[in-house]
Chain A
Amino acid sequence: MKNESSYLPAGLPIPVAEADGLSAPYLAGLQQGRLLVQRCTHCGCWQFGPEWICHQCHAFDPAWVEVAPEGRIYSWERVWHPVHPALRERCPYVAVLVELPQAGNVRMVGNLLGDPMQDVRIGADVVGVYEHHPETSPPHSLLQWRLR
């Protein structure tokens, strides 16, 4: 779990669960190298980010299920203007929006590993890479993506 490399420099805000704990299973899963997404046990609907209720059938407390961190690029952006002190020397960098076909096409934002000036193609297949940060307080993990 040692953090050998991270895509963005240290110092960005650390993701933590809300006071009511809604996203705690997702964040804990990342720290264990597992991608957990909500799926309603009643109607099978996938949803992300987490909610207390299934938006399709209105059953409460959708289940968390583990899915493979595999997807394809739905959209992307290359960021040139740093808006946080930690990013001052790091621009440009690439953020991608990845859809997960095996999980109802829910989408999540991450960074695309590799050359920040690479050509990014919508529809390209990507696989998830867990980026662990045991050194932060509290510790946390991110889910990044690289081209398959």
Chain B
Amino acid sequence: MNARTLRGKVAVVGIGETTYYKHGQSPDPEFKLALKAILAACKDAGIEPRRIDGFASYSDDRNDATRLAVALGLPHLRSATMQWGGGGGGCCAAVANGAAAIATGQADCVVVFRSLNQGQHGRFGQAAGAGAGAATVSGERSYLVPYGVISPPQRFAMRVQRYMHEHGVRQEALRAIAMASYHHAQNNPRAVMHGKPLDEAKYDASRWIVEPFHLFDCCMENDGAAALVLMDAERAADCAQKPVYLLGAAAGSGLRFGSHAHNSAEYASANFGVVAPDLYRMAGLGPKDVGVVQAYENFTGGVLMALAEHGFFGPEEANEFLRLENLVAPSGRLPLNTSGGNLAECYMHGFELLLEAVRQVRGTSTNQATRNDVALVVGGPMVSPVSDLLLGSKAVL
């Protein structure tokens, strides 16, 4: 048996975040937000911030590890990693990379983080190179942008449309995913959409962004920062909080998933076909062991495909499974996005999902699931690479 694993070797000991703001409304610049979240996570862990000796982030993060180490006066920076790939596909991989540094003796205390100030830096995915505004376009975007397939929802809608066609999935399944996020956000005072409930009529009446995505199928745009602190399992026991252990981690991509002009072999897919089995193998667990899921919602259709690819239901069962009552805490069949997630808590590129999974295992969520010893986080469906994390309590080890 292959003994190379992160299972039980590393734990999340602290989490922290800033206030979450609507797009462009943060009073603080992005780097300052990052520092605030990092210090909040250290405080939560009950550790002196100078113990940090590593940083991990993802998706072209702008907040350089060296600058963070300088600003915080860290005596010794050992590990500085960033996961390749766009969007939120790296949110779980960033944690795994930080954990790998610890498990292999390259660092002792790694902070994994995401910070986002779109007012300062422009909308994510709409940088100058993204096509819009440019006079010419080449490479992958040249096969899409001249035909008006430009923004992320436009790039992903056809994958979902094909999946819905192949498996007879109805719009109501997407609606249930959106409604679960909004339902949970109403109990979460951190959520940007706290106090703004969503019902079926409001979803149905909302404008199309691109069929099959209504407005409420698409993630928000937000500013803020979130961070978590990792330590090895032995040291974790001495921290202020109940440790939350990594049970499994996996990242990657299936056959030619990123091939240009929508030529993936598995086109109608969220790209977890090869990743989810790796995750379960490392954890020694299966979908039936998972009590609560935080699944990255760039668009609800990605959640639909990702949950099926993680074995929670067959594609043909999606309409039956994806109903609001099955997706809500405390005791739905699979409580989903219990903080409100990207749709209704804060679009922190999925990092808010990781913090919520930690809260679930600790038992401190505002929407606590009954089965919370094993929490799954799914990162960035439909991009390449994607990543996954299984977190759990000491009882599961």
Any B CB within 8 A of the CB of A55 = yes
Q: Once the chains bind, are B147 and A142 in contact (CB under 8 Å)?
A: yes
Q: Once the chains bind, are A83 and B208 in contact (CB under 8 Å)?
A: no
Which of B126, B143, B146, B157 sits near A77, CB closer than 8 Å? B157
Q: Could you say which of A15, A17, A81, A83 has the most chain B C-beta atoms within 10 Å of its C-beta?
A: A83
Any B CB within 8 A of the CB of A48 = yes
Shortest distance in angstroms between A80's beta carbon and chain B's nearest beta carbon?
A: 4
Any B CB within 8 A of the CB of A97 = yes
Given A13-B134, A15-B136, A49-B140, do A79 and B161 touch, yes or no (CB 8 Å)? no
Any B CB within 8 A of the CB of A23 = yes
For B145, the chain A residues whose CB sits under 8 A away are 12-13, 15
Shortest distance in angstroms between B149's beta carbon and chain A's nearest beta carbon?
A: 5
Shortest distance in angstroms between B171's beta carbon and chain A's nearest beta carbon?
A: 13
Give the distance in Å from the alpha carbon of A127 to the alpha carbon of B49 in the complex. Answer: 63
B9-63 residues at the A interface, CB under 8 angstroms: none
For B151, the chain A residues whose CB sits under 8 A away are 81, 83
Q: Once the chains bind, are B147 and A77 in contact (CB under 8 Å)?
A: no
Q: Once the chains bind, are A106 and B207 in contact (CB under 8 Å)?
A: no
Any A CB within 8 A of the CB of B71 = no
**Would you give the 0/1 interface string for A87-130, flagging 1 where the beta carbon is closer than 8 Å to chain B?**
10010110101000000001111110000000000100000000
Any A CB within 8 A of the CB of B211 = yes
Which of B138, B148, B153 sits near A8, CB closer than 8 Å? B148
Give the distance in Å from the alpha carbon of A15 to the alpha carbon of B362 in the complex. Answer: 51
Q: Which residue of A lies closest to B260 (CB)?
A: A49
Shortest distance in angstroms between B343's beta carbon and chain A's nearest beta carbon?
A: 17
Any B CB within 8 A of the CB of A75 = yes
Q: Once the chains bind, are A74 and B260 in contact (CB under 8 Å)?
A: no
Given A83-B132, A95-B148, A111-B148, do A14 and B137 touch, yes or no (CB 8 Å)? yes
Q: Once the chains bind, are B261 and A80 in contact (CB under 8 Å)?
A: no
Majority-rule SS of B interface residues = mixed
Give the distance in Å from the alpha carbon of A73 to the alpha carbon of B269 in the complex. Answer: 18
Q: Once the chains bind, are B147 and A78 in contact (CB under 8 Å)?
A: no
**Would you give the 0/1 interface string for B202-218, flagging 1 where the beta carbon is closer than 8 Å to chain A?**
00000111111000000
For A47, the chain B residues whose CB sits under 8 A away are 259, 263
Give the distance in Å from the alpha carbon of A18 to the alpha carbon of B147 in the complex. Answer: 18
Q: Which residue of A lies closest to B259 (CB)?
A: A49
Q: Once the chains bind, are A75 and B159 in contact (CB under 8 Å)?
A: yes
Interface residues on B, range: 35 or more
Give the distance in Å from the alpha carbon of A76 to the alpha carbon of B211 in the complex. Answer: 9
Q: Once the chains bind, are A80 and B148 in contact (CB under 8 Å)?
A: no
Any A CB within 8 A of the CB of B135 = yes
Shortest distance in angstroms between B116's beta carbon and chain A's nearest beta carbon?
A: 20
Any B CB within 8 A of the CB of A84 = yes
A12-42 residues at the B interface, CB under 8 angstroms: 12-19, 23, 27
Q: Once the chains bind, are A109 and B143 in contact (CB under 8 Å)?
A: yes
Give the distance in Å from the alpha carbon of A146 to the alpha carbon of B149 in the complex. Answer: 18
Q: Once the chains bind, are B256 and A55 in contact (CB under 8 Å)?
A: yes
Any A CB within 8 A of the CB of B158 = yes
Any A CB within 8 A of the CB of B121 = no
Q: Once the chains bind, are B148 and A75 in contact (CB under 8 Å)?
A: no
Given A12-B148, A80-B207, A81-B208, do A75 and B162 touch, yes or no (CB 8 Å)? yes
Any A CB within 8 A of the CB of B165 = yes
**Would you give the 0/1 interface string for B187-221, flagging 1 where the beta carbon is closer than 8 Å to chain A?**
00000000000000000000111111000000000
For B153, the chain A residues whose CB sits under 8 A away are 81
Give the distance in Å from the alpha carbon of A84 to the alpha carbon of B136 in the complex. Answer: 14
Given contacts A15-B142, A81-B153, 12 further A-B contacts (CB under 8 A): A12-B146, A13-B132, A13-B135, A14-B137, A14-B146, A27-B142, A47-B263, A80-B207, A80-B210, A87-B148, A107-B267, A109-B143
Tell me the B residues contacting A by CB distance below 8 Å: 126, 131-151, 153-154, 157-159, 161-162, 165, 207-212, 256, 259-263, 267-268
Tell me the A residues contacting B by CB distance below 8 Å: 8, 12-19, 23, 27, 47-50, 55, 74-81, 83-84, 87, 90, 92-93, 95, 97, 106-111, 122, 138, 140, 142
| 3 closest cross-chain pairs (CB), A and B | A49-B260, A13-B137, A15-B142
Cross-chain pairs A/B with CB under 8 angstroms, 27 sampled:
A8-B147, A13-B134, A13-B135, A13-B136, A15-B138, A15-B143, A15-B145, A16-B136, A18-B138, A47-B259, A48-B261, A49-B143, A49-B259, A75-B268, A77-B211, A79-B154, A80-B207, A80-B208, A81-B208, A87-B148, A93-B148, A95-B158, A97-B158, A106-B263, A109-B147, A109-B158, A111-B147
